Every structure is written in structure tokens, then in C-alpha cells.
Amino acid sequence: MGFAVPYVVEEVFGVSKAVIGVVHLPPLPGSPSYSGEDLNAIVERALRDAKALEEGGVDGVLIENFWDLPYRKPPVEPSTVACMSVVALEISRSTSLPLGVNVLRNDALASIAIAKAVGGRFIRVNVYAEVAVTDQGVIEPVAHQVQVAKKLYYAGGVKVFADVNVKHASPLATRPLEDVAEEAVSRGLADAVIVTGPKTGEPPRLDDLHRVKARVKESSVIVGSGCTPENAADLLACADAVIVGTYFKEGGMKSPVSKVKVERLVSKVREIRSKLK
């Protein structure tokens, strides 16, 4: 299969086969895991990771309240939105990278609001056009609410990247993955769909990826977990971008982003990009 050059990826990131690095925020005020850490210290940690991602060559950055364990169903605490807005604004001021927001678990309206406030370019929505059974309970789709919010907030420029059969969850109804992806785009108006493995750090099955891309040919398909230098060529033979968090950590998920590991993966992806020319 040849390499596709989708409009949305190039519009947001300025390149095809984009690498989107993740900044995993430590527990924030309002989370049961919050330790009382000063917000300035949280901001500095996030900025260090964002700078390592930028200097390593990624094409975009996504911030997540990853360590706000255990997650709650939306809406999240107001303190979560406030703190993520502060962090996101500092990252947007300190880097030139297109910024995305993912408020876990699935508070897409908060994500839209933060992105609008800080000049973010995209959001990630884990449960967008299907019902998912998760460790937070049953989470319902939010496509309608997201599209209405985009209108109300004048946030039309914020793109929606929607997971299908997201990791750490099971769909309530068993349907072909490609059907869910098609409806996320055609009926839910998502700008791109994200395909993941079953849990954090695990890649999607190549067959799943190819079936989704074959069905939504005119839309961007993004890998949402498990990309490494070893499998990047296989994944990007079909996908239009990758979201990378786990691989960029040197000593486990709680470690800082390793600039060396970022450079290693980005170098591989640039080789893949060169085949497009």
C-alpha cells in the first residue's frame, strides 16, 4: 500500500506522517492521587517534557492529565480544567508546536474549552461515537455535544481526533471497527480517527489499521498507542500520524521524556517521509 497524504494532518502539523508527542501531567489538584505539589513545579515539569519533545523533532504535542488516577466520568473537577489550562497556556507560549488537549476520562467539552482558551489546534476524544464499558463505568458518546460546543465557543479551528474502540475499554455493542470509524467521521463529523492497541504502550493490530483506512480513505487515521522505531514503518505504511507517549520515556511511565529517544523515533519517521517525495 502506498503512503497517503491526508489534508487534516498536513493542515495541523505542516507535514505528512506526523509524530505527536504526549506530555503526561502528574496528579493535579482535585485528583485522589494529588500529593499537594505546587502548580509552578507541575508547570516546570510539563515544560521540560514539552521542550524535550520539541528539540527532539516532534510535529505536535498533546497534554493529558494522565496521572489523575483513578479517573472519573465526565465532568472532571473544575480544578482539573483550571490547572490544565494554566499548563497548556505555558506550553503554547514556550514552544512553537501545535498543541492538543485530552481531558481524561472523556471530558471532551473541557478539552474544547481549554484548546479554545490557549490556541490549541486539536483535541483527543476517547469515546466519541460509540458506547464504551470502562473501569469508570459506561461512557456514552459525545459527538453531538462536541460539535455544538465548537459552534458556541467559536472553536471551528480545533480539530477532533476521535478514538474508535479505545484502549482500556470494551465497546458495549460488538461492531466491525471500520463501521465505527466510518460513522465517527460521516455521522459524528470527526476530523480524524485514532486506532489503538488494547492498553497503553501496545500497538494496534495492523489488520485493524488497514481495515479502518480502507473504509475512511478521505480521512486521517492516527495510531494512538505503541509506536516505536521498530514498528513505525509498518504502522505508517497505513496511518497518517502517530501519537507517542510510552516509548519516549527512558525509565518507565513516570520518567521524564528522553530527548534521545524522541530523536531516534523522529529520525526513523523522517526516513519514511522521504519515500513520499
Confidence of residue 14 (pLDDT cuts 50, 70, 90): very high
How far apart CA 261 and CA 226 sit, in angstroms, is: 14
Residue 5 clears pLDDT 70, i.e. is over it: no
- CA distances (Å), 198 to each of 165, 188, 257, in order? 9, 23, 23
CB 35: neighbour CB atoms within 10 A? Answer: 7
| pLDDT score of 3 more than 50 | no
CA distances from 153 to 76, 81, 141, 158, 179 (A): 19, 16, 20, 10, 30
pLDDT number for residue 277: 65
Question: How far from each other are the two terminal CA atoms of the chain, in whole angstroms?
Answer: 16
- Non-local CB neighbours of 202 within 8 Å, separated by 6+ positions: 167, 196, 225, 226
How many alpha carbons fall within 13 Å on the CB side of residue 82? 7
Rounded-to-10 torsion of CA 167, 173, 175, 180: -60
> Are 242 and 262 spatial neighbours (Cβ–Cβ below 8 Å)?
no
> Which run of H or E residues covers position 100?
strand 99-102
Q: How far, in Å, are 24, 25, 70, 90, 255 from residue 45 at the CA level?
A: 10, 8, 21, 11, 11
pLDDT at 31: 96
Predicted pLDDT of residue 172: 87
What pLDDT is attached to residue 6? 55
pLDDT score at 167? 82
Q: How far apart are CA 138 and CA 140, in angstroms?
A: 7
Beta-bridge mates of residue 171: 132
- Residues 229-246: pLDDT tens digits? 999 999 999 999 999 999
pLDDT tens-digit readout, 65-78? 999 999 999 999 99
> Within 13 Å of residue 201, how many CA atoms lie on the same side as its CB?
6
Go through the domains of the chain in sequence order and give each one's CATH number: 7-274 (3.20.20.70)
At what angle are helices 259-274 and 39-56 packed, to 10 degrees?
40
Q: Work out the average pLDDT over 108-118.
A: 98
Q: Is 153 left (phi over 0), alpha (psi -120 to 50) or beta?
A: alpha
pLDDT tens readout for residues 169-225:
888 888 999 999 999 999 999 999 999 988 888 999 999 999 999 999 889 999 999
Report the distance separating Cα 264 and Cα 66, nearest Å. Answer: 24
pLDDT for 214: 95
CA–CA separation, 248 vs 259, rounded Å?
Answer: 8
pLDDT at 73: 93
Q: What is the pLDDT of residue 1?
A: 36
Cα 182 from Cα 160, distance rounded (Å)? 14
Which pLDDT does position 166 carry in this prediction?
86
Residue 7 has pLDDT above 80, yes or no: no
pLDDT, tens digit, 9 for 90 and up, residues 22-49 = 999 999 999 999 999 999 999 999 999 9
Report the distance separating Cα 244 and Cα 22, nearest Å.
6
Q: What type of residue is 53?
A: L
Among the listed ranges 93-107, 124-138, 161-175, 259-273, which one has the minimum average pLDDT value? Answer: 161-175
17 pLDDT higher than 90: yes
Average pLDDT, the chain: 94
pLDDT of 170: 86
**CA atoms of 180 and 68, how far apart (whole Å):** 28
State the pTM of this model.
Answer: 0.95
Q: What confidence tens digit (pLDDT) does each residue in 116-132 have?
A: 999 999 999 999 999 99
